[in-house]
Amino acid sequence: MITIVSGSYRKDNLTISLSNLYAGILQERNQPFQVLDFRTLPVSFLYENEIFGNSSKEVDNLLKNYVINAEKFIFIIPEYNGSFPGVVKAFIDICDPQWFIGKRAALVGASTGRAGNLRGMDHLSSILEHLEMHVLPQKLPVSKIKTLLDNEQNIQDGETIEAVSQQINKFIQF
């Protein structure tokens, strides 16, 4: 199972558009996947978890379904203040590090600017490698994301779709 992590907690984020593109391509290729949309995280996830000694059934089930049972992760992370959102790190911090050992990850950066969150992907890559995850070397920076969206917030840019498709091909084999 692949978990697509749509790593923005903001209500009207653009990260979900990339997550939907990945989900569509994985579905076309009959790859089992699920999307963890951070907008749906319970507000209390930071404090009601096993790691902090205050477990909740809702958070425990979320971690079991999206982290423990996943074999691979696609982290789609927007650029926030020159890195990735703190909610992504907070989510990782409520997980037992053992849950990540030996699993695989692909990284996708999204930004409204030119760099496609290259720095944020490097920061997250360092954390995931510390957790003994295997990170796909082909990281995908998606720049100027607002210009790639149609009126329904879907990505229609052929070059971006092709780059995503190529990254998914490599990730399936990874």
The reported pLDDT for the residue numbered 53 is 74
In whole angstroms, give the CA distance from residue 67 to residue 63: 5
In whole angstroms, give the CA distance from residue 98 to residue 101.
5
pLDDT of residue 103: 98
Map residue 41 onto helix, strand or coil.
coil
Q: For the whole model, what pTM was predicted?
A: 0.93
Instruction: Specify the pairing of strand 104-110 against strand 134-135.
Output: parallel
12: domain CATH number is 3.40.50.360
Where in the sequence is the domain holding 33, given as residue range(s)? 2-173
Q: What burial class does residue 127 get, using C-beta atoms within 10 Å of its C-beta: 0-12 exposed, 13-18 middle, 19+ buried? A: middle
Residue position matching structure tokens 């790639």: 148
DSSP-derived 3-state class of residue 34? strand
Backbone angles phi, psi at 3, to 5 degrees: -100, 120
CA–CA distance, 87 with 36 (Å, rounded to integer): 13
Number of domains within the chain: 1
Looking at residue 128, what is its pLDDT? 97
Q: Residue 35 and residue 19: Cα distance in Å, rounded?
A: 7
**Residues 45, 89 contacting (CB under 8 angstroms):** no
Q: What is the pLDDT along the chain (174 residues), one digit of tens a residue?
A: 999 999 998 888 889 999 999 999 999 999 999 999 999 998 888 777 777 777 788 888 889 999 999 999 999 999 999 999 999 999 999 899 999 999 999 999 999 988 899 999 999 999 999 999 999 999 999 999 988 888 888 898 899 999 999 999 999 999
Which DSSP symbol is given to 48? S
What are the tokens at 117?
């969150």
pLDDT value for 50: 73
